[in-house]
Chains A and B, each alone.
Chain A
Amino acid sequence: MNRQLKLLEYALAGLTRRKGKNVALLLVYAFTIAALGSVLFLTDALRSEARQTLDHAPEMVVQRISAGRHELIPRSYATTIAQLPGVRQATPRVWGYYYDALVRANFTLMGVTEPETQIKDLQGQLPAADNECAVGIGIADIFGATIGDSLVLVDAHGKNRVFAISGIFSAHSALLTHDLILMPEPALRAFFNLDPTVATDIAVSIANPREITTLAKKVRYHLPDTRPISRSEILHTYDSIFNWRSGMMFAVSVAALIAFCILAWDKATGISADEKREIGILKAVGWNTGDVMAIKFWEGLILSLSAFLIGTIAAWLHVFVLGAPALTPILKGWSVLFPPFSLQPVTDPYQILVLAFLTIAPYLACTLIPAWKTAVTAPEQAMRS
C-alpha cells in the first residue's frame, strides 16, 4: 500500500513537471467526455420521459390507410372495433395540424370532450363553448397571450375564427403540450371542415394488455385498410429515436470519438524523448520494468480518471442544470416552437460504466504500450534515444 502511494506520489510529481502539456491534455480529454456524456444524459432523460408519460397513451391507435397514406377513418369502424371481444372502448378522435403563417409555426389541434377529472397541469378551464380553446405554454408565449385573450386562426374556408383562450397548460407539461391547441370536437370539425362521419383515427382501450397483439391482428382481419399502432410500438419508437444508433447520438458521438481517437493515437504513437530518457535513467538506477509500468499506469489513470470525473460532472450540469444549451440547436432544427427542458435527471448506470470503459481503458492502453516498449529496451539505448 505504502509502496503504491509512493509510486503515485512519483507519478504526480512527473505530471507536475510537464504541467502545461498535461493540463491541456486533461482539458481536451474532459471536453470530449463532456460532449459524449451530454448526449448520453439528454437522450437517456428524453427516453425515460417518453417511457414514463407515454406509458399512459391509448393501448392501440387505429389509422386508416388509403393509397399508401394516412386517411380519415369512418366513425363506423369504431363500432366494428368496439364489438371485438376484449375491447373496452373505441373512441374516434379528431386532430390535425395548422400552420400559422404569421409566426411560421406548426400547431397541433385536437378535439376534446370534457374529461371526467380536473386536469392538474391546466391553468384555467378546458374549452366548453365552440369559440373557446386551451393552449400550450409555447403558443401562449409566442402570441404573448393569457387566459381570456383571443386567438385568431384561419379555418378551412379561409375565414378568420376567433377563439377565447379558456386555459393554458403549465410549463411543467411543455414537453407534451407546447404546440397543442385543444378545442371542442364539433368546433374542430367545423374548423377543418370535416364530415361528421369521419375521424382522424380511433383510440382503442383494451382491458388486458396481453391481448393487444391479438386484437391488432383481428382489427387488420376485419378492417384490412387499417393500420393498428400499439402502445408498445409508440414506446419503441422513442426508444429507437434516442438510442445509441440514433441520428443525434451518432453524429455527436462519432465527432467526439474521432477527437478522442486522435488524442489517443497521438499518445500511442510514441512517448517523448524526455519521457524515454526518464525511463532509461530509472532503469539505470535499478528500477525494474514492473516499477516503470506501475508509474506509467498511475500517470494514465490519474489523467483519464480525472478527465472522466470532470467531463461527466460537467455533462450532468450542462444537461440538467443549464438545460443542454449546446445540444438544443441540434434538436431544435427548424422548429419555431421548441419546448424548454426541465428533464428528470435519469441516468442509466450501465451506460455510465460503458462511457467510463470506452474512455479510460483505451487511454490507459495507449499510455502503457509505448512505455512498455521503452522499458524493455536497454537503459543506455533508452537514454540515448
Chain B
Amino acid sequence: MWRARLYLTATLCGILTLTALLMTGQQPNDSADKQQLVAAFGLTDLALFSEARYTRHPSQADLFTAFQDSPGAIDHFPSGSLVVPIPGSRTRSITVLKGER
C-alpha cells in the first residue's frame, strides 16, 4: 500500500501548496500609493496598450466612430482585437422614422 500512501501524501501537499499560493493574494495589498496617484492626477486608465489612443484609454474612447475609435473594431493594431466592445454599447443611435424621406 506504499503507492497509495505516497500518492495521498503528495496530493495533500499539492492541495496545501495551491491553497497557500491562492491565499497569498487575498491579503490587503499596498495599492494606497497608486490610489493617491490616480486621485491626484485624475487618471482613468491603465498604461497597458500604448499603441493607439483608444487602446491607451479604452474607457475614454468613443464607441461609435466606425473602424477607428471603437474598441473591438477591425484595425491593424494587435491589441485592438483584445479590447472588446462594452456589452450593451451597440444600441441604436439613429432613429429611422418610417414614411419620412
Contact = CB atoms under 8 A, between A and B. Distances in A.
State the majority secondary structure of interface residues on B: loop
Interface string B37-52: 1111111111111111
Given A5-B4, A53-B35, A173-B34, A234 B44 contact: yes
Interface size range on A against B: 35 or more
Interface stretch (A151-159, A275-283, A345-353, A364-372): A345-353
Contacts of B53: 97, 106
A55 B35 contact: yes
Given A309-B15, A316-B21, A331-B82, A12 B37 contact: no
B74 interface: no
Given A203-B42, A234-B44, A349 B22 contact: yes
A106 B52 contact: yes
A53 B84 contact: no
A52 B46 contact: no
A168 to B, nearest CB: 13
Contacts of A93: 42
B38 A336 contact: no
Contacts, number: 223
B46 A50 contact: yes
Contacts of A374: none
A169 to B, nearest CB: 8
B60 A108 contact: no
Given A58-B44, A312-B18, A316-B21, A53 B51 contact: no
A240 B86 contact: yes
A338 B57 CA distance: 14
A20 to B, nearest CB: 18
A121 B65 CA distance: 36
Interface string B7-31: 1100100110110011011100101
